[in-house]
Amino acid sequence: MSARSRRFWLRPRSARRAALAELRAEAQCTLPDSYLRLLWDSGGRPVELRFAGATWLLWPPEEVLRLNQFFDVTDNYPGLFGIGGDGAQGLLALDTRAPAPHPVVTLPLIGLWEELTVLAPDFDRLLALRQPP
């Protein structure tokens, strides 16, 4: 099994570092350092975030770009960059229409802009709102 085909947390540190560097380079926005650090600290396992009774999962770094393409985030939601979901129909995203640090928003994956909800003005403040599991 090649190092690239292994799950992120089973990869050698150098391969994990490369996956995060690729994500940072290929993302069409400035990714918050706290977001990248959280992905690194998790070892690539899904990160569960709870806010106001809702649970969101950050996508593993090796999946972020692929899932943005799979859900057509760029076409369906111009200016948003998906970073996670609720496991059903919700998208957790950075709103890159605003300057960095980007607001963190949620909305349904079925294209309803009017249901866009701002969770926090930036990723650091989102982490401050996090509830324990």
**CATH for 58:** 3.40.1580.10
pTM assigned to the model: 0.86
SS3 category, 115 = helix
Total domains in the chain come to: 1
Distance CA 2, CA 129 (A): 39
Distance CA 63, CA 76 (A): 19
SS3 category, 83 = strand
Range of the domain at 85: 3-129
Provide the terminal-to-terminal Cα distance of the chain, rounded to the nearest Å: 34
Question: What phi and psi, each to the nearest 5 degrees, are found at residue 105?
Answer: -130, 165
* pLDDT score of 112: 79
pLDDT-flagged residues of the chain (< 50): 1
- Share the mean pLDDT of the chain: 87
The tens digit of pLDDT for each residue in 79-94 reads 999 999 998 889 999 9
SS3 category, 73 = helix
* pLDDT score of 18: 87
